[in-house]
Amino acid sequence: MKSLVITVAGTSTRFNRDTREDVLKCLYHIGDPHLSLLYQQVYKAYDSVDEIIIVGGYKFDNLAKFVNEELVEFKPNIKLVYNEHYLDYGSGYSLLKGIDAVSSEANETIFIEGDLFFDQNSLTEIINSDKDVISINNESIKANKAVALYFDADLFPHYLYDTSHSCLSIGEPFTAIYNSGQMWKFVDVKRLREIRMSLTPEQVKGTNLVIIQIYFGELKEGSINIVSVKDWFNCNTFADYLAVYNQLAK
């Protein structure tokens, strides 16, 4: 059984700097609700997974309404989960809430951040992989936006992200560096749950990279399927959404 977790709990601060009114960015659309990021993600994944867990927080009522009205065709397989700490905890708590909601029958879990646009074929490759998956993209690595991924001298992966969107630093030799595609697949759900239960209170409050680093940090490069996402865009801002709008419309 394949389970997909999509996290959309954040307050969309950067996105809302240029909107007329505050919105939940994954729901924003011009004209047709099908042109929202969330609809596109669910639509592209629906036929390939058995359940879709959407974790919200900010403007949760708007999210629930969207699920009930615009995702009605997919609703039988959707679980909507509320993150009560979307304001005071980091992004990792949404992932933890999603893991908690994964069905006991699930033996694979895919995780996608909710502000992404990506092509169908790349997502299908991630979902169908028989290995754990780390995704990458071809954009430049900029500290104000990117989640960087590098492999150390022993070929173990490490993630870097600056929550202040300022600078990144690597303090050791590395063999490769990438811009993360911010989509992952975990084929050992039992281990994922064990990691979730072993986190300290401080780790629980951290970013989603805490649990991702613990899970993948013990896996060498050769044992992981690294999927390069062909068409990828992270819609942090309203301008980002406008830049990807024509691809959404296709």
Query: For residue 248, what pLDDT is reported?
Result: 85
For the chain, give every domain's residue range: 2-249
> CA-CA distance, 231 to 240, in Å (whole number)?
14
Give residue 163's pLDDT.
83
Nearest to 180 by CA among 164, 210, 158, 196: 158
Is a pLDDT exceeding 80 seen at residue 54? yes
Question: Which pLDDT belongs to residue 200?
Answer: 97
**Are the C-beta atoms of residues 11 and 62 closer than 8 Å to each other?**
no
Query: For the chain, what is the mean pLDDT?
Result: 95
CA neighbor of 111 nearest in space, from 188, 193, 183, 217: 183
Q: Quick one: CATH architecture of 2-249? A: Alpha-Beta Complex (3.90)
- Which pLDDT value is given to residue 241? 93
Kindly report, residue by residue over 125-143, the tens digit of the pLDDT.
999 999 999 999 999 999 9
**Alpha carbon distance 171, 51 (integer Å):** 40
- pLDDT category at 18 given cuts 50, 70, 90 is confident
20 pLDDT more than 90: no
Print the SS3 string covering 54-100: EEEECEHHHHHHHHHHHCCCCHHHEEEEECCCCCCCCCHHHHHHHHH
Query: What is the per-residue pLDDT across 98-118, written as a single tens digit (0 to 9) for each?
Result: 999 999 999 999 999 999 999
